[in-house]
Amino acid sequence: METPALLVEGLTKTYTPGAKPAVESLTFTLPMGETWGLLGGNGAGKSTTIAMLLGLLVPSAGRVLALGHDMATDRFAALARMNFSSPYIALPHRLTVEENLRVYAHLYGVPEAERRIAELVEEFALGEFAKRPAGQLSAGQKTRVALAKALINKPALLLLDEPTASLDPDTGDWVRSTLERYRAAEGAAMLLASHNMGEVERLCANVLMLKGGRVVDAGSPSALLEKYGRDDLEEVFLDIARGRAQAAVA
Ligand SMILES: Nc1ncnc2c1ncn2[C@@H]1O[C@H](COP(=O)(O)OP(=O)(O)OP(=O)(O)O)[C@@H](O)[C@H]1O
């Protein structure tokens, strides 16, 4: 069997000893070539999960194999073939957009960096502000630069925290198409934390519903719609968030 993009077993994070874990016993296997969604309300544990998957946060228990590498012992081998975007992590704001991409291309050891940067500037339509400092861009422009940075090393595994937050509907739609095209062309795997149910329905083969740090339900968007007897994932999400899951499936 092909090595999965992510193999996660019993992943747990307790920030404060004795308190309830922010993420508890998370277990799943993300195959190569698929996009999965991590859905949950504020504080459900999405960002904590992504930070552990990236090796930015040390888990309290459990393990993560990313692209076959154990993130506790061998994370640099995995990180070279991974990337991420998060609205909470700012790009160096005094550097221009182009300089930012050059720094990341260097960090990831991208071959033919200038060519790759030119491709991304073209694909993400960054040309009109490529020579401006990243700190002076609008939120939507920053999001596009962050996505270009996330694809700079052609990652096999992409972790996306709210990839279309602060984008207008048209640009958001364009970003979703770009991500979908990238996945199909490269056979990459993606894990997407999102509050945007339409986005999750459109992009994700499978969805993990998180509540209070635990997976409370999982399945393909169509299987979840059927199970809860709903027309869209937003309603399924509200059923779960408001604790109506049992009533819905009874
Ligand atoms: N550094 C920290 N120290 C202590 N508790 C934290 C820390 N970071 C997050 N938490 C807590 O862990 C829980 C999960 O937070 P997390 O940010 O992972 O949720 P989330 O699903 O990403 O939420 P949101 O949708 O609001 O971004 C929350 O109760 C939060 O208060």
Q: Are residues 112 and 208 in the same domain?
A: no
Q: Are residues 62 and 168 in the same domain?
A: yes
Nearest CA, atom 3, ligand 1: 15
Q: What is the mean pLDDT of residues 97-102?
A: 95
Any idea which of 65-69, 223-227, 246-250 has the lowest mean pLDDT? Answer: 246-250
Q: What is the per-residue pLDDT across 112-121, written as a single tens digit (0 to 9) for each? A: 999 999 999 9
Any idea which of 5-9, 122-126, 226-230 has the lowest mean pLDDT? Answer: 226-230
Q: Is the pLDDT of residue 246 over 80?
A: no
Whether ligand 1 lies within 6 angstroms of the CB of 116 is answered as no
Q: Are residues 122 and 230 in the same domain?
A: no
Q: Are residues 107 and 218 in the same domain?
A: no
- Model confidence at 248, in pLDDT bands (50, 70, 90)? very low
Start-to-end CA distance of the chain, whole Å, equals 36
Give residue 23's domain range: 6-81+156-249
Q: What is the mean pLDDT of residues 151-175?
A: 89
Any idea which of 17-31, 60-74, 135-149, 227-241 has the lowest mean pLDDT? Answer: 227-241
Q: Are residues 135 and 60 in the same domain?
A: no
Whether ligand 1 lies within 6 angstroms of the CB of 55 is answered as no
Is residue 14 within 8 Å of residue 44, measured between CB atoms?
Answer: no
Nearest CA, atom 28, ligand 1: 43
Backbone angles phi, psi at 220, to 5 degrees: -70, 155
Q: How many CB atoms lie within 10 A of CB 34?
A: 17
Q: Are residues 145 and 173 in the same domain?
A: no
Q: Are residues 117 and 237 in the same domain?
A: no
Q: Which atom of ligand 1 is nearest to the CA of 16?
A: 4
Lookup result for tokens 């195959």? 31
CA of 158 to the centre of ligand 1 (A): 21
Q: Is the pLDDT of residue 250 over 80?
A: no
Q: Are residues 140 and 61 in the same domain?
A: no
Q: Are residues 120 and 30 in the same domain?
A: no
Q: Are residues 141 and 241 in the same domain?
A: no
ipTM above 0.90, yes or no: yes
**Pick from 196, 225, 191: nearest CA to 208:** 191
The sign of the dihedral angle between the CA atoms of 57, 62, 64, 68 is: positive
Q: Which atom of ligand 1 is nearest to the CA of 13?
A: 12
Residue 1 forms part of a structural domain:
no
Residue 48 forms part of a structural domain:
yes
Whether ligand 1 lies within 6 angstroms of the CB of 20 is answered as no
- DSSP letter string, 182-218: HHHHHT-EEEEEES-HHHHHHH-SEEEEEETTEEEEE
From 108, 124, 154, give the residue that closes a domain: 154
Q: Are residues 43 and 64 in the same domain?
A: yes
Whether ligand 1 lies within 6 angstroms of the CB of 85 is answered as no
Residue 214 forms part of a structural domain:
yes
CA of 15 to the centre of ligand 1 (A): 9
Is residue 179 within 8 Å of residue 156, measured between CB atoms?
Answer: no
Nearest CA, atom 12, ligand 1: 22
**Pick from 159, 9, 5, 184: nearest CA to 85:** 159
Residue 114 forms part of a structural domain:
yes
Q: Which atom of ligand 1 is nearest to the CA of 210?
A: 21
Backbone angles phi, psi at 28, to 5 degrees: -165, 165
Whether ligand 1 lies within 6 angstroms of the CB of 43 is answered as yes
From 154, 171, 189, give the residue that closes a domain: 154
- Look at the chain and report how many structural domains it folds into: 2
Q: Are residues 120 and 20 in the same domain?
A: no
